[in-house]
Structure formats: structure tokens, C-alpha cells
Chain A
Amino acid sequence: NAGVMQNPRHLVRRRGQEARLRCSPMKGHSHVYWYRQLPEEGLKFMVYLQKENIIDESGMPKERFSAEFPKEGPSILRIQQVVRGDSAAYFCASSPRGQASTNEKLFFGSGTQLSVL
């Protein structure tokens, strides 16, 4: 299956620990997007990356959150010193051409459910 792969599917962390969420885009896609979904809410954009570049991080909190998409390997969303409010489903999406067109469809992974105890 060459779809967007996210791992882990479920991640449990205690307050103050670090959470690392990984995303491998679809084959041939070089644009990755991270979204967060809180319970009973829609998805909210966090960050848009191309290989080795952050294009738009306007939706990501300035503190404790960081994202990268290295030349080799998956994209990583990192949350330091997690708090209970970070508990959510984190979805990654990818596309082949990025912001080339508003018709560009996004392909989503199955998400990582982060639970902070």
C-alpha cells in the first residue's frame, strides 16, 4: 500500500514528556501537511513542509511544537513537554505538487491519537 503512513497509531505520554509523530508521504509526493483534530471539532491546519523546508507554520503553536521533513526519512511532528490539552488526533496529508492549484487534493494518513495522562 503506497498510501500516507503514520505511526504510531496510538501514543500515550505523561505530562512533561516528548511526543514524536511520524509521517511518510505517498510515493512521489514531496509536500506534507499536519493537522490536529480535537474531540467534536474539525481538523485544524498546523504546518506545511516540503523536503527540508518549512513553507507555512502559521497554524502551529510557537512553543513546544516543531516539525521537520528531512531529505531522507519521514516527516516528524515533535511536541515537547506535552500537556493534557495536546491530547488529540494528529493527521498528516501529502500532495504531489503542493500549492500549485486549489484543485490539488490532499491524501491523508490514518492519524496518530495522542493521549496525555
Chain B
Amino acid sequence: DQQVKQNSPSLSVQEGRISILNCDYTNSMFDYFLWYKKYPAEGPTFLISISSIKDKNEDGRFTVFLNKSAKHLSLHIVPSQPGDSAVYFCAASGDSNYQLIWGAGTKLIIKP
């Protein structure tokens, strides 16, 4: 039972354009959402998070949007850069910061 779904295994975007990565969840008890970025042969690195009391959080080129009624969140990267090529994981938590429920990841490829 996948509680967090990232339906696009991969996404290809032109350098300089906007990258939009999507994530859907089923458990309405989730109240904190995170995005992690992972390069090959490395561990995931925290990117940005959002609490369920907000609908938007911005950090430089990265913005996360949360639509609680649709149980959907998205990560926007603008402008996309070659160094953004990585696998992006969406994760959600209820009452603990470590029992995260992870999506399967989306591989983002930024084309020069």
C-alpha cells in the first residue's frame, strides 16, 4: 500500500526552464512533507519541507506547494540548472520526524 506516490519515474527539462515534480499521498494524518535530493552513489540530502498548516514554502530556486484537499504536493525548481539533475524523493510524516513514508522518487534530467 503506497501512501506516498510519485507517478513520474523520470522527467526531462531544458536548462533554464521550470521543473515541476509531483507527489500524491493518501493518508490525511500526514502533517509534514519533505523533499530530498539524491545523487548517484550518495545518500539523500534534505532540500525543502512544508508543514500542513501552510500551502507554500519557498527557498531560493525551490518552492513547494501543498494542496491538502487534493492530497497533492509539488516541487518547483526555477530556473533549472544542470546540477539539479538527480533523483528527487517526496516524503511525509505524521507524528515523528524519522518514520518518514517515502515515495519511489523521480529522476530529473536537466538538458543543456
Contact = CB atoms under 8 A, between A and B. Distances in A.
A28 interface: no
B44 A43 contact: yes
Interface in B39-92: 41-46, 49, 51, 89, 91
Contact of B4 (A40, A42, A93, A111): A42
Nearest to B46: A105
Interface stretch (A64-72, A79-87, A96-104): A96-104
B99 A59 contact: yes
Contact of A108 (B44, B49, B97, B99): B44
B43 A111 contact: yes
Q: How large is the interface on A (under 10, 10 to 19, 20 to 34, 35 or more residues)?
A: 20 to 34
B57 to A, nearest CB: 12
B97 A103 contact: yes
A22 to B, nearest CB: 14
Contacts of A107: 46
A45 B99 contact: yes
Contacts of B51: 102
Given A42-B91, A103-B49, A103-B97, A109 B43 contact: yes
Interface string B1-41: 00010000100000000000000000000011000000001
21 contacts: A4-B43, A9-B41, A41-B104, A43-B89, A45-B98, A56-B99, A91-B43, A95-B97, A95-B98, A98-B98, A102-B31, A103-B97, A104-B97, A105-B46, A106-B46, A106-B97, A106-B98, A108-B43, A108-B44, A110-B42, A110-B43
Interface of B: 4, 9, 31-32, 41-46, 49, 51, 89, 91, 93, 96-105
Given A93-B43, A102-B32, 18 more contacts: A42-B101, A42-B105, A43-B89, A43-B100, A44-B102, A45-B98, A56-B96, A56-B98, A56-B99, A93-B98, A99-B98, A102-B51, A103-B97, A105-B46, A106-B46, A107-B46, A108-B45, A111-B43
